[in-house]
Chain A
Amino acid sequence: MPEGTVNQGIGASVRRKEDKRFLIGKGNYTDDINRAGQLHVYFLRSPVAFADIVSINKQKAEKASGVAAILTGEDVAADGLGGPICGWVPTNKDGSAPSEPPHPILANGRVRYVGDHVAAVFAETLDQAMSAAELIDVTYSEMPAITDLKTAIDSTQIHDGMENNTYFDWELGDEAATNDAFDKAATIVNVDIRNNRVIPNAMEPRAAVADYNTGDGRYTLFTTSQNPQLTRLVIGAFMLNIPESKFRVVAPDVGGGFGSKIYVYPEEAVCVWASKKLGRAVKWTADRTQAFLGDAHGRDHISEVKLALDKNNRITGLRVDTLANLGAYLSAFAMVTPTYLHGTLLSGVYDIPAIYTNVKGICTNTVNVDAYRGAGRPEATYLLERTMDVAAKQVGMDPAEFRRLNFIPKDAFPYQTAVALQYDVGDYEPLLDRAMAMIDYANFESRRAKSAKNGKCRGIGISTYIEACGIAPSAVVGALGGRVGLYESAVVRVDPTGTISVLTGTHSHGQGHDTTFAQIVCDKLGVGIETVEIVHGDSDRTPFGMGTYGSRSLAVGGTAISKALDKVIAKGKIIAAHMLEAADADIEFKDGKFTVMGTDREKSFGEIALSAYVPHNFPHDRLEPGLEETSFYDPLNFTYPSGTHIAEVEIDPATGVVELVDWVCCDDFGNLINPMVVEGQVHGGIAQGVGQALYEEAAYNDNGQLLSASYMDYCMPRADHFPSLKVENLVTACTHNDLGVKGCGEAGAIASPPAVINAVVDALSPLGVTDITMPATPQKVWQAIQAAQTKAAE
């Protein structure tokens, strides 16, 4: 970096370039977009969970004011449209393929969850469409709803031909070796785990605006997507049969995703389909109720966990049997989330020689469940970290020291786990030590005693997590049933005047890529951040790429940018050699200048850029004009962020209210591009995990009605639920990407739920409480206390 300049490169907490437009009300979200002559569509949704549709009478509704058309499943079938598809499909343990029942974009003859799309009503205004929808007369023949995971297997088939309501029955690990570990164990720990169902709740509800141009035969779709290129591929190739070149998909500013905006949803496809069929642009925006009923939910597992310990309290085996509720239909990552993104994480940060897991993916009359911030890894971490606490208590060890005893040692990397992954690097003890120091773990008991004097129960809870992110090496993914590669793309386009556009296949919906990706450019090219623009989210402008999820954007997309920048520098050197009449090998690039080594002869980056586009004397046999380079980067391995989070809670036993009083964490995300942005990601992840642990629950009743379908009933974490969060980092650099980065987007949500529940159980353990399920609401905590005290009195 030249002297006297402000560091805008890697490692600087540069304030975000994207902030201003959001702060002055000039963001451009999908619902802000309108097209001339657009119709509004409202979806009539099923009010019942499981029924055959006997008849749909839409005659009265069609005559209502402003109505242009009403489309149903019959129209979808007549036009031969496909449904959303699965992107990654595991193999059953008997070697057979899993069940993938069809998912019609408008229900055809049968509805399978409350909220299933029955009819699409198109009208001049949204009010007219909604009013007309009320005039549609649908006769349902109801069947008993299937919502319970444990009994679903023995219930009526939700999809014809799918036995036992089971999408798949999958296993991983060495069952014989694991059984052997249990046969020889000195201690066996049994824990039943329930991972509650939650709803992602990005603050921007999903929306779509589709427009078909009869002149050039091109479709344009503006949509709330984390991966517009995948949306184009799936809708174009699998649902509506539109050539990709005739289909532009734009995900403009997107107000949060957290996984829920990965998938292609029926509404988007209906808008695109109808825009041609009706000859009018079509707009749809979900209200929050539709978001609750229609967005893919997250988590919802029941697991039986068994841990084997030897006489020295070292873990020798782990067995996990899981039922995963996937809801009524499958979406893009529904099957991989509870399998390859879950089973492979069961070793955690621990040296466990034998692991076996069986996961059954179950169909119920609920909305589909798919990846939600962390996707499988929070579920694995929760069951493992809860089990570690139960085990420590069972053998009489401090939970921190029991973890430390079982950590994979620093010198064991690369470490091959018993569940397929090979961790490249990590160092877990310093993370634990630092977090314990941050929260003054040593003096916790005095704080507990002080709280007790005030009639409160104080508890502390540790979570030492790992995640596999930077998704993902295509060869590995392919071998494990992936139907896509998971590389990422970048184009670095240097303009004649030296400004730079980076076109990326990732998408930013809060992560700050406009800034952090620009910092990589500043760092490598020595240019100011104001000269760099990051372009994402428009299939007409960006190269094909896989989008943003799985903490992949920096580790995979950022590395692609880095590699494209290397190519720009390499070409710049050849141009400089030509201009300076030197050999290519004699040119070095540093601080934004190309210099003949050992001399003061140099050309600035701007001069090289201009020359590239004004190539009056280029030797065209060895040097093409222009300065624009592309990279498609396929990662060599997953990346493995890790860390320790510690929560401290205080509980009022009279009311059951849990107050989070302190939070510390020390994470290892590898090298940091922008520490400020990383901290922000950690804060948000913690809040979502705390929400799951204390407040949030997608509650269905026995009839399959979603009881928590508004913010009046679904408790979102609010500002006054949190203390100030203390976030620190240590670094072991990733060994297999150029930037040494690992990813940070999901860590908080992965680490935090077990830290909270471990703290709650610790607080209540003096009262005899040994377990509590998420969310630990005041009612549940109070009941647990009463139950424990009743038991103690018996």
Chain B
Amino acid sequence: MQTITMKVNGVSTSCDVPDNTLLVSFLRETMGLTGTHIGCDTSQCGACVVHVNGKSTKSCTILAAQLEGAEVTTIEGIANGDELHPMQQAFHENHGLQCGFCTPGMVMSAIELVEKNKNLSEREIREGLEGNICRCTGYHNIVKSVQDAAGKMGG
């Protein structure tokens, strides 16, 4: 058991976590942030992607106890009040989601992808999302969504 202090979606939180608690379990079970999903057990599917200190991170692959002092942002923390983040809005406008299960991870991965390079080609978007699996959309409208958001995020 360790006592850790981290910022989750801008709010400072301090609590005791068992040594073997994954970040995703900490977020879902301790913080009640169930928007981050668990879709596999081999760090392949990307449904659990959050931002740790601004970087896309599979939250099933890092322990909460490692994150003393970290800033964690989840899907619940990217909208500005009622105003959706441009990536969320683009997924809505372009039908970039169906069942919604992979969506939080997909959106979080896509945000970092665009923030790193606002002039992404279609091929770069497809390769950049290789770590996120979607079974519903065939990725077509996800790619469109990311292209759309990239434009609005200053690309």
Contacts and interface: CB of A to CB of B under 8 A. Distances in A.
Contact of A687 (B20, B44, B47, B139): B139
B125 A19 contact: no
B134 to A, nearest CB: 7
Contacts of B41: 287-289, 710
Given A204-B39, A720-B130, A711 B75 contact: no
A447 interface: no
A301 to B, nearest CB: 22
Interface string A226-265: 0000000000000000000000000001111010000000
B96 to A, nearest CB: 9
Given A26-B35, A203-B47, A684-B138, A712 B42 contact: yes
A718 B20 CA distance: 31
A23 B97 contact: yes
Nearest to A22: B100
A23 B92 contact: yes
Interface string A706-740: 00001110001111101011000000000000000
Interface stretch (B51-59, B64-72, B102-110): B102-110
Given A680-B98, A686-B138, A23 B127 contact: no
B152 interface: no
A688 interface: yes
Contact of B136 (A20, A32, A684): A684
A661 interface: no
Nearest to B104: A25
A98 to B, nearest CB: 32
Contacts of B37: 29, 203-204, 255
Contacts of A203: 37, 39, 45, 47, 99, 101-102, 133-136
Given A712-B44, A718-B130, A719-B129, A24 B84 contact: yes
A496 interface: no
Interface in B101-153: 101-104, 107, 122-123, 125-127, 129-130, 132-143
Contact of A725 (B36, B103, B104, B138): B138
| B-side interface mostly | loop
Given A29-B37, A711-B42, A255 B126 contact: no
A301 B35 CA distance: 39
B39 A512 contact: no
Of the candidates B20, B104, B125, the one having the most CB atoms from chain A within 10 angstroms of its own CB is B104
A749 to B, nearest CB: 10
B129 A202 contact: no
A202 B99 contact: yes
B93, B101, B126 — most chain A CB neighbours (10 Å): B101
Contacts of A19: 91-92, 97, 100
A27 interface: yes
B62 interface: no
* Interface magnitude class on chain A: 35 or more
A510 B98 contact: yes
A203 B54 CA distance: 25
A676 B97 CA distance: 12
Given A287-B41, A722-B139, A204 B99 contact: yes
Nearest to B33: A25
A718 B133 contact: yes
Interface in A486-534: 509-512
Which of A21, A25, A26, A258 has the most CB atoms of chain B within a 10 A radius of its CB?
A25
A680 B137 CA distance: 6
B133 A18 contact: no
A29 to B, nearest CB: 7
A719 B110 CA distance: 12
Given A677-B95, A680-B140, 6 more contacts: A15-B92, A23-B100, A253-B100, A287-B41, A684-B138, A724-B143
Interface of B: 20, 28, 33-42, 44-45, 47, 74-76, 79, 84, 88, 91-93, 95, 97-104, 107, 122-123, 125-127, 129-130, 132-143
Closest 10 CB pairs of A and B: A25-B35, A22-B100, A255-B101, A510-B99, A687-B138, A683-B138, A711-B44, A510-B98, A25-B75, A32-B34
20 contacts: A19-B91, A22-B103, A25-B75, A202-B99, A253-B100, A254-B99, A256-B135, A510-B99, A676-B95, A680-B95, A680-B137, A683-B137, A684-B138, A710-B44, A716-B133, A719-B129, A720-B123, A720-B126, A720-B129, A724-B140
Interface of A: 15-16, 18-27, 29, 31-32, 127, 201-205, 253-256, 258, 287-289, 509-512, 676-677, 679-680, 683-688, 710-712, 716-720, 722, 724-725, 748
